[in-house]
Amino acid sequence: MLGGAGILLGVAAVPAQAAEVSYKTECIPPAASGLDPVEGTTKVEITAPATAKVGDEIEVVWKFVQAASKNPDLIVLPKDSVKPTGTLKASGAQTADIAMEGPQKNPEIPKGGDMVLSDMTGKVKLTTAGDVTLTPDAYTITAYSTDTKCTPQEAVPAAATIKVTAAEGGSTTSGGSTSGGTTTSGGTATGGDTGGTTSGGSTTGGGTTSGGTTSGGSTSGGGDGQTDFAGKTVVTSFACTSPGPAKIDSTATINAKKNGGSYDLTVKTAEGVMNSPAPLPAGALKPSMVITVGGDDSGSLKVEGPANKDALNTGDPVSLGDMTGTYKPGADGKATLSPGDLTIVVTLSAGADPITIPCKATKTAVSLELDVQKQAGGVSGATTSGSGSSSGSSSGSSSSSSGGGLAETGANDHGGLWALGFVAGTAILLGGAVFVFLPHRRMR
């Protein structure tokens, strides 16, 4: 969902040099975003020592001058939510792929705003006398545990040259090539889109990813006195029935707080992923979700979120509230908790029949793992209400119709639902906030 570029700074006790280069770049957003690849121009500044000796370990810095694209007009990126990683290629007297990594540090980036990425740094040990040139290569931008991968689409000019001389009192040996430093960048999870094999990969700084694993964020059940358990963010997909969208791609995080032998669950979601397309009354949108229990326990429970507290004007950010419920273990051992089916209930005016949009989970992953002890009346093998709310499985109307699924709700509901855009384009749920992604809303 992001495009960007990189810059290098050199950190060495010798004179430094800095040079800016630009090159055509293609950035491929995460599959869950529904966005097309972006073609743009990356501008980076590389700073490195002008001279060094064989055996020196030098540090370089990659500074982003201009990103290949702006932030899509879909979501505000919060402060310190974006992390760049990449690869700087050394050639000439010595060949190496230098792993580059920047901190997860950025100002808030508005929808459609310029991407602001932190400087990346990396190290390489020099092994051979001669001229060593440094050239920017592929890079990855990670936000919300999803990766946007950017690769050059033309030959990139060298950004810096280091004149390496033989070490004093020794002969020059090739020593082979080196990747330099510890390749620990790209350590954030891909959230499941690309699994654990591509995030930050060999050309973007390596690192260990966890997006494709099924282990949860915490494994202690509180026997050691722990009461709060943080889950990991996972990517899910939903297939919805009419009048809902055909597909929703989403992320969700399940956190737990021990309460006696049970656990109070909170499914946390992001805020304001889009502007409201039309005025909506307070209480118009109410979400709920089934949490699937696995591992040594089995069954499911329901969590439910509050309806929007305030009325929404056109252009206001649309969010779904955190969904809560209770998990009572029905077995001893390790239990896993995964996001399951999603339901969105739409009530467009006071006294109007609610419109229930059921969405079946077609892709999910474990967000949380707990060590649990069996409780009387636990969830094992059963489906429980969790928060005690109704299942919301009805359509909101006792009559049926073959006229497209909206006719039976009345003309006013029909118009309001169209305003929400549930029937146009593809709805995307990023961190729990529903918005409509229309075909023309592409990354520029």
pLDDT per residue over 183-227, tens digit each? 333 333 333 333 333 333 333 333 333 333 445 565 555 456 789
- Say which range, 228-237, 365-374, 375-384, has the weakest mean pLDDT: 375-384
Q: Whats the size of the chain, residue-wise?
A: 444
Helix (H, G, I), strand (E, B) or coil at 264: strand
| pLDDT class of 323 with cuts at 50, 70, 90 | very high
Helix, strand, coil in percent for the chain, rounding step 5: 5, 45, 55
Higher pLDDT, 175 or 32: 32
Q: Is the pLDDT of residue 179 over 70?
A: no
Q: Is the pLDDT of residue 46 over 90?
A: yes
- Do the beta carbons of residue 340 and residue 300 sit within 8 Å? yes
The arithmetic mean of pLDDT across residues 169-182, rounded, is 42
Q: State how far the alpha carbon of 205 is from the alpha carbons of 62, 81, 138, 180, 256, in Å.
A: 13, 18, 9, 11, 33
Average pLDDT for the chain: 73
- Do the beta carbons of residue 304 and residue 335 sit within 8 Å? no
| pLDDT class of 384 with cuts at 50, 70, 90 | low
Q: Give the dihedral sign, CA 184/187/190/195.
A: positive
Q: Within 13 A of 284's CA, how many CA atoms are on the CB side?
A: 20
Q: Are strands 382-384 and 299-304 parallel, antiparallel or unpaired?
A: parallel
Q: Answer whether 0.85 is exceeded by the pTM.
A: no
- Say which range, 83-97, 184-198, 311-325, has the weakest mean pLDDT: 184-198
Q: Is the pLDDT of residue 393 over 60?
A: no
Q: Is the pLDDT of residue 102 over 90?
A: yes
- pLDDT attached to residue 388: 39
